[in-house]
Structure 1
């Protein structure tokens, strides 16, 4: 705390870099300390509730204030308080002196005011990169007079550290003689139109500036500006309030956001509380000791009337949410229909048209509608995937070799798979997934990303080898153009061009825009051959080969029905692991979902879907990567922030809905009637889309970040949590272990046949994934210490929720 004769001010940022005290010295005499403070519970403190209620009623608000130097922002807030009659006009100069000090102060004992401009240069350097706002906008400070803080007169001196700092907000506070006639503090709030770096100690980007002023005279400890600042800090750290405040269109909406926050804190609804990682592990994956205990818990949680209703109604009256639903539905349609047609074409070739594109589209529509309606986690996307396509190919090879009718054997394999999955559900077998932590998830997600990237490279190599140069060049142009346009539009939300809403729309609709653009480019080169998507020749719900939809289940000998139990057990293992790992990535705490997971309920729904698909001879489906976690992220509002000089994104508002999955699969079912339009899309556009999915999956995977460290100059390592806590050599050793396992998984996933047998190595894929669990539990602890494993398995920094700087 800094005392300046009759005035004082102080500061507290809510997140310190560690629990230990960090000291920063600035020449010649400024000393700041960052120290952890206990989290303030507004619900448990009467004074905190009263203070926020008063803020909601009387605090002057300045919404949509253009970014400006800190001194200018504070003067606007002070003038607003004067206009509202809450402080006298004589308090302005005293407040500015308390908050900023006098650059040429002659007070020899006032260490906080000495050489404050030098203190700013030491502690408030703007981190590399452009300043970004909470809507992922950016603004170059060198091109805007309002955001150029390099001039000393506009810089923030050392005392500005004495504020409450947070991710997206800063709360300066001070005590003034001019307010000694008052017995309470006054508050004013400003929201900037875009976030910018105001020179705070930790380099945070600020969207809100909240000013708290109080009298110098003695007050109750619960009424001091310090305590009120902490109360406001607790409110702004609430993700729901922060999102509501950021999107508030008027003063009334902003005040309603404060009241809603108070209502949530004082009368919390247990069903709306976001599950913690510990509760997910300890409760969802715990053995209940009862028959189908986990399933019963999922049904009670996810089919609770209020929860299930909210899955359909949340956001339907909110224009911003409706826009998100629309953009996500369009994105999902293209993200699902294109690989569905591609895998259907492969099944057509591999099974002599017993299963083809029509069956695949109908299967996808049925599975998606059923899962979106009844699943425990509707954000998960079920699809037919590459492993399933390979498995169907292997089954067909077995049937040809053993002279078994394919479709009946296929159907019985699916029925055995569904039965085994149901047995796993009623025995609470999902408890083993609690041992499948970040170590396995990272390898699996990186493999999926690598496979999608390879689906861009391999087809283009084949085109290069088998086609004329002009055909290859066009295919390369269309594939690469699709990827580049989609990536450019995805990142366009960070630009400073156009309006924020237009940037967001272009970002959300980037994939369909890129596909349509490259389809139009193909029309320019009609004289060059370009293979289109393989759509069905027939229109309507008819099978590809003209066979009956119902499979003759008993046109097969009894011994082969039991033989199908072997292939069913292999397939059930694949479904069990892939389904649960994909769902775990959707339910990651970072996605901030509140309704809770439904692992057992999801497996039951998938089992029912498999039964129907098997009886009708349609391709099987299960949870797919990367579509499932990308679906959750596509629906969310995210905020970009800088940490350690790098840009990251965090979810500030999650949306959980069944609408997007349901509507998407309605259109997928109707797409059979639009075969001519789909047939215009070049197949090479699909390659570029696969590359986009692969690169998008790698973003945010800690394993991939550690792989990049192997090729990074050591001086350029980001000072993140594991770099600061684990020796570099140990980090590389941990990465090397994961790389070895990734190579093993890729080797198995290559799907080659062993000699002249019908055994395909791809069948071992689920067993290799299961092998990672004992490796993590029993082998890694012999190589690494518990502290090292903990740091390396953390996806993000563990932050102290409330901390402080005193000067």
Structure 2
């Protein structure tokens, strides 16, 4: 959907009565860097968002909140549990199921209640998993208390997050375009696919391996088919809505029981390891003895905290930008500075409790917004404006509220009880691998790199005449830009497979100046305007000073097929 410079005047939206930020209004210029007005961004965020806080709860009286809650519960908790298995094996059993569940609860409760943008799902991500076990590999054998060392990383990171928040650092997001976002999203999607394959590769016996692979593929194909059917013109509307909303959760539940049918119940499958309810995995107390570390070890944690803060600043802000992408007709303003301040709090608290640090999730955050979209069928027209005897679904509005995020967090808290932990223990790792495949493929489908590759591989005669990339005179420019994105992805993915993985956040952040400084020297300005663009609408970017210079509002390329 083409975005506008402000919230659309849609009379069917339940939020049409709400106060709106003036369209096109931008905060005054930040001014020279040495004249930073401290706390200005946080204050503006709170002022802009405060009038909507009441409606954030009242607008939840909508059916879309129910399937969004159910879907996000499964889409958040199951990948996190699979990541917990990874960390359990690679961090000396310091992080397990209960730590990951409580980290997800912490993120969802804090951000649903207090965040300026409650649509962003916060939990345990693939990149933080890589960070955690890479740090463990570095400090292992040095005699340093690993979990205490991670606590100090969280405490230092809390201070750094607060510094970034009060100095209005999120205004730099005006220079973040689709280029770094698509590369990072592509990387996260491949992390999901890689983790799914790794889960299957760890299985022992041949019979367990074959059954797990079969289960993973069946989960992927069934859940993917449900999503496709839900967006198709087949069946009646109630059936399509049901398949779209509940197809994936029901698929996971069914195939968890499927492996107990017939001869399959005799196969010893690897399952998710769980412990006692509300008890840390390693048997320690929840409060970490972080004060026992030496002064030298405390300050050694600072460089790691810098890397973590760089990762979280980019990762969380990109998650928020994509969750508020210009394809979503949002009506309520964003608040990036305040949310970074909150992220510092959750990072510090997670460190003191010995939890993996929660952060904005990709692709769950945009999936959450998408699941809250209310759509209507729109007739398709050909190039001459005539009816093509078909239709597509267009979002009329998004149910912007706080309840779905809070509810899925409370459901996660309930999962830490003994009976539900016993249920989690029944989930075969093949089912988790299948979910990784589903989420990875969905993330790839929605990625701008994929859209460009599809365009380049498409028959020119079958490419729509109004496709944005057809306006580029040099087809080689599309190839070159896609190659640059793939090179950035390849370098990011490669570095995370080495001992230098702890430093990959710096490489990710470097993609922003590469886009701003290097690419304009290679591509013409008009080509970049079509190949790249702002992540979110001008309405969303108002709180951080508007778009970067030369950026235009346009139909997102990742939505163009």
> Normalised by the size of structure 1, how large is the TM-score?
0.61
Greater relative contact order (Cα < 8 A, sep 6+): 2
Maintained 8 Å contact 1:532/1:683: yes
Tell me, what secondary structure is at the counterpart of 1:526? Answer: helix
**Structure 1 gaps, min length 5:** 1-14, 16-38, 40-236, 245-256, 754-760, 800-807
Number of the residue aligned with 1:665: 409
Maintained 8 Å contact 2:42/2:337: yes
Number of the residue aligned with 2:451: 705
Matched, 1:357 2:102: no
Whole-Å separation in 1 of the counterparts to 2:235 and 2:460 = 39
Number of the residue aligned with 2:496: 749
Counterpart of 2:529 (choices 786, 790, 799) is 790
CA deviation map 1:37-82 (0-9, x unaligned): xx9xxxxxxxxxxxxxxxxxxxxxxxxxxxxxxxxxxxxxxxxxxx
Give RMSD over aligned pairs: 2.8
Whole-Å separation in 1 of the counterparts to 2:177 and 2:235 = 42
Whole-Å separation in 1 of the counterparts to 2:229 and 2:129 = 36
Whole-Å separation in 1 of the counterparts to 2:106 and 2:396 = 33
Number of the residue aligned with 1:450: 190
Bigger shift: residues 374-383 or 336-345? 336-345
Matches within 5 A, 1:641-660: 642=380, 650-660=394-404
Matches within 5 A, 1:365-514: 365-463=105-203, 466-468=204-206, 470-495=207-232, 498-514=235-251
Tell me, what secondary structure is at the counterpart of 1:490? Answer: helix
Change (3 A) 1:701 1:417: same
Maintained 8 Å contact 2:178/2:448: no
Following TM superposition, by how much is the alpha carbon of 1:456 offset from its aligned partner in structure 2, in angstroms? 3.0
Number of the residue aligned with 2:57: 312
Number of the residue aligned with 1:716: 462
Counterpart of 2:43 (choices 293, 296, 302) is 296
CA deviation map 1:354-408 (0-9, x unaligned): 3322122122212211111111111101111122122222222333233212222
Number of the residue aligned with 2:538: none
CA deviation map 1:250-281 (0-9, x unaligned): xxxxxxx9xx9xxx7xxx86x335866x959x
Number of the residue aligned with 1:573: 310
Number of the residue aligned with 2:516: 777
Matched, 1:588 2:325: yes
CA deviation map 1:273-322 (0-9, x unaligned): 5866x959x88999893111101111112223xx1011111141xxxx2x
Maintained 8 Å contact 1:721/1:797: no
Maintained 8 Å contact 1:299/1:601: yes
CA deviation map 1:589-633 (0-9, x unaligned): 221211111111111111111121111111111101000011001
Whole-Å separation in 1 of the counterparts to 2:371 and 2:31 = 27
Number of the residue aligned with 1:676: 422
Change (3 A) 1:709 1:497: closer
Maintained 8 Å contact 1:341/1:534: no
Matched, 1:518 2:255: yes
Number of the residue aligned with 2:431: 685
Maintained 8 Å contact 1:453/1:694: yes
Maintained 8 Å contact 1:341/1:535: no
CA deviation map 1:145-176 (0-9, x unaligned): xxxxxxxxxxxxxxxxxxxxxxxxxxxxxxxx
Matches within 5 A, 1:583-662: 583-639=320-376, 642=380, 650-662=394-406
Tell me, what secondary structure is at the counterpart of 2:221? Answer: helix
Change (3 A) 1:495 1:650: closer
Maintained 8 Å contact 1:726/1:791: no
Matched, 1:240 2:10: yes
Number of the residue aligned with 1:272: 20
Tell me, what secondary structure is at the counterpart of 1:653? Answer: strand
Whole-Å separation in 2 of the counterparts to 1:285 and 1:438 = 26
Matches within 5 A, 1:547-562: 547-562=284-299
Matches within 5 A, 1:527-542: 527-536=266-275, 538=276, 540-542=277-279
Maintained 8 Å contact 2:199/2:429: no
Looking at CA atoms only, which structure, 1 or 2, has the larger radius of gyration?
1
Maintained 8 Å contact 1:274/1:594: no
Change (3 A) 1:692 1:649: farther
Change (3 A) 1:679 1:283: farther
Maintained 8 Å contact 1:446/1:697: yes
Following TM superposition, by how much is the alpha carbon of 1:583 offset from its aligned partner in structure 2, in angstroms? 0.8
Following TM superposition, by how much is the alpha carbon of 1:512 offset from its aligned partner in structure 2, in angstroms? 0.7
Whole-Å separation in 2 of the counterparts to 1:718 and 1:731 = 16
Between the two proteins, the alignment pairs up a number of residues equal to 521
CA deviation map 1:467-487 (0-9, x unaligned): 31x323311221111111112
Change (3 A) 1:315 1:610: closer
Bigger shift: residues 640-649 or 349-358? 640-649
Tell me, what secondary structure is at the counterpart of 1:710? Answer: helix
Change (3 A) 1:284 1:576: farther
CA deviation map 1:482-507 (0-9, x unaligned): 11111222222345555312321221
Whole-Å separation in 2 of the counterparts to 1:647 and 1:438 = 28
Change (3 A) 1:506 1:785: same
**Structure 2 gaps, min length 5:** 383-387, 535-551, 556-561
Matches within 5 A, 1:50-89: none
Maintained 8 Å contact 1:239/1:652: no
Matched, 1:734 2:487: no
Following TM superposition, by how much is the alpha carbon of 1:542 offset from its aligned partner in structure 2, in angstroms? 1.6
Following TM superposition, by how much is the alpha carbon of 1:519 offset from its aligned partner in structure 2, in angstroms? 1.5
Tell me, what secondary structure is at the counterpart of 1:590? Answer: coil
